[in-house]
Amino acid sequence: MDREAYRNCCSLVKIPRQSYEQFWSSHFVDYIDKELSYSKFFKKYLLPNHPCMFSRRFTEDWKCRKQWVSEEGKPNFQKLLQEFDETPVPVANCNAKEYNANPKQVMPFKEFIHYWKEYIQNGHSSPKGCLYLKDWHMSRDFPEHNVYTTPVFFSSDWLNEYWDTLEVDDYRFVYMGPKGSWTPFHADVFRSYSWSANICGRKKWLLYPPGQEEFLRDTHGNLPYDVTSAELRDRGLFPHSEEACQPLEIIQEAGEIIFVPSGWHHQVYNLEDTISINHNWLNGCNIDIMWQFLQNELSSVQKEINEWRNTMDSWHQHCQVIMKACSGINYGEFASFLKIIAGNRMTFLNACSSGDSSDYPRHLSETLTTLGPYHAAFDLQRVAHIIECLLCNEDFKRLDHSALTLQPETMLQQIRDTIQSTRGQHLLYQE
């Protein structure tokens, strides 16, 4: 990111996101088949929160596109078995419904491949149902494989940066499923972005822009499990479904990468036997959407247990505990998340100023160096904005700040000092 892009982005991010009506009137997504600068992707897709599709040329050098795929373009079961054999993997049953998702089990990889082969031989049917290997942390389980490379467009990834720092989790997944496997209607974790690359096979995506999902709620406020179900035409059960726009339907071919923006609810089908790689990620462009999501999640918890509000001295603390159990994060961990992201960028900018990056983690150094100091400064400004929001939030004020790893006032001042002290240095750098 260069100086002009940095200035434009700092001004654009303060403007409310563009109405989706203009985008929707065209009813298609951009197909990117040539060189595109990171700055243009940032400005045209990340900030306005619009989807797009990258052609197969962006994945043609990936090892998995060669090693995991047969000459006929099908999953190479023999090669996959050689690599993963007894590895335990999570497998969902697409024919079963548990709340608004598919129940999962863990089985050896070779057992799933055996099932998959039989499923194909039986005309894509099985008494076991339609099984789908999904949400498998392959990169975490096999870090030495290096079968793909995250495109630079998706490299500003605070979510995985945070979890990599803790060394306990990540949001990088492999999906493998037969023709007919699918994922029910949902929006991604923490309202993050996602990118999904088809290694082989084809997918059909049904996407709704943010806000349209509200028309699809039933009389109890629940979202549908399947947006193609005939029951959505029941006005007694789904009174506003006819007010929703038609979904954006996208067919994703082998090798292509789809960018799914924040808060776009979607439903996905495998039209053929398919393998895909998916990352959930977020950064300074959509951190405000995550913060709004967290506020909404806490509000929902508070409404659910409001009747006990006056009978419990620690009611607000219990709300945070329940929020963590339901959503995977609460305000305290969100503060820790912001601290790590800000700390990494302050260290990077100070290293740029001093010329000494010897103590900086190599993988982070490479990513931040590629994106440049302008991007790091933009990130810090976005973190500072969210910290300012936290300081004004009544529920955050009620937390025991002595127990937080982030002391917000102190961190906010450190960010401001870093930006000020390195401004003359990082503005000398070019993309």
Q: Are 335 and 270 in a shared domain?
A: no
Q: Give me the pLDDT at residue 361, please.
A: 66
Q: Give me the pLDDT at residue 427, please.
A: 46
Q: Give me the pLDDT at residue 15, please.
A: 40
In a domain, 149, yes or no: yes
Q: Are 265 and 311 in a shared domain?
A: no
Which residue, chain included where needed, has tokens 């959503």?
327
- Sheet with 131-136: strands ordered across: 30-32, 52-54, 257-260, 193-200, 274-281, 172-177, 131-136, 88-93, 104-108
Which two structure tokens, joined as six digits, stand for 158?
């605070």
Q: Are 42 and 177 in a shared domain?
A: yes
DSSP 8-state symbol, 71 = T
Q: To which H or E segment does residue 196 belong? A: strand 193-200
In a domain, 235, yes or no: no
Q: Give me the pLDDT at residue 286, please.
A: 97
Q: Are 260 and 329 in a shared domain?
A: no
- Across the chain, what does the average pLDDT equal? 91
Q: Give me the pLDDT at residue 297, please.
A: 97
Q: Give me the pLDDT at residue 352, please.
A: 84
Query: Is the distance from CB of 334 to CB of 406 less than 8 angstroms?
Result: no
Domain that holds residue 340: 286-427
Domain end (from 281, 302, 336) = 281
Q: Give me the pLDDT at residue 87, please.
A: 98
Pairs from 314-322 (Cβ < 8 Å, separation ≥ 24): 316/395, 316/398, 317/400, 319/395, 320/399
DSSP 8-state symbol, 53 = E
Q: How far apart (Å, rounded) are the C-alpha atoms in residues 101 and 392?
A: 36
Q: Which tens digit of pLDDT belongs to each residue from 349-380? A: 988 877 666 666 666 778 899 999 999 999 99
Q: Are 312 and 177 in a shared domain?
A: no
Q: 421 Cβ partners below 8 Å, 6+ apart? A: 353
Report the candidate in 217, 199, 313 with the shortest Cα–Cα distance to residue 255: 199
In a domain, 54, yes or no: yes
CB atoms inside a 10 Å sphere around CB 99: 8
As for how many domains the chain has, the answer is: 2
Q: Are 330 and 252 in a shared domain?
A: no
Q: Give me the pLDDT at residue 429, please.
A: 39
Which residue, chain included where needed, has tokens 């940066």?
161
Q: Give me the pLDDT at residue 421, please.
A: 85
Q: Give me the pLDDT at residue 428, please.
A: 39
Q: How far apart (Å, rounded) are the C-alpha atoms in residues 297 and 122?
A: 44
Domain end (from 227, 255, 281) = 281
Q: Which tens digit of pLDDT belongs to each residue from 164-181? A: 999 888 999 999 999 999
Q: Are 419 and 272 in a shared domain?
A: no
Q: Are 383 and 264 in a shared domain?
A: no
CA dist 112 to 9, 44, 81, 262, Å?
46, 41, 10, 32
Domain end (from 235, 257, 281) = 281
Q: 107 Cβ partners below 8 Å, 6+ apart? A: 88, 89, 91
In a domain, 230, yes or no: no
- Stretches in the chain below the pLDDT threshold 50: 14-16, 25-26, 426-431
Q: Are 111 and 252 in a shared domain?
A: yes
Q: List, in sequence order, every beta strand (DSSP E) within 235-317.
A: 248-252, 257-260, 265-270, 274-281
Q: List, in sequence order, every beta strand (DSSP E) within 109-152.
A: 131-136
Written as one letter, the residue type at 245 is C
Q: Give me the pLDDT at residue 431, please.
A: 38
Q: Are 199 and 346 in a shared domain?
A: no
CA atoms within 13 A on the CB side of 223: 18
Q: How far apart (Å, rounded) are the C-alpha atoms in residues 202 and 143?
A: 27
SS3 assignment, position 137: coil
Q: Are 98 and 204 in a shared domain?
A: yes
* Cα-based angle 392, 393, 394 (whole degrees, multiple of 5): 115
Q: Are 72 and 172 in a shared domain?
A: yes
CA atoms within 13 A on the CB side of 304: 12
Q: To which H or E segment does residue 176 belong? A: strand 172-177
Pairs from 53-57 (Cβ < 8 Å, separation ≥ 24): 53/29, 53/250, 53/252, 53/256, 53/257, 53/258, 53/259, 54/151, 54/153, 54/256, 54/257, 54/258, 54/259, 55/31, 55/255, 55/256, 56/253, 56/254, 56/255, 56/256, 57/33, 57/255
Q: How far apart (Å, rounded) are the C-alpha atoms in residues 329 and 337?
A: 10
Query: Is the distance from CB of 2 to CB of 431 less than 8 angstroms?
Result: yes
Query: Is the distance from CB of 233 to CB of 249 less than 8 angstroms?
Result: no
Which residue, chain included where needed, has tokens 């979202």?
223
For residue 270, give the CATH number of its domain: 2.60.120.650
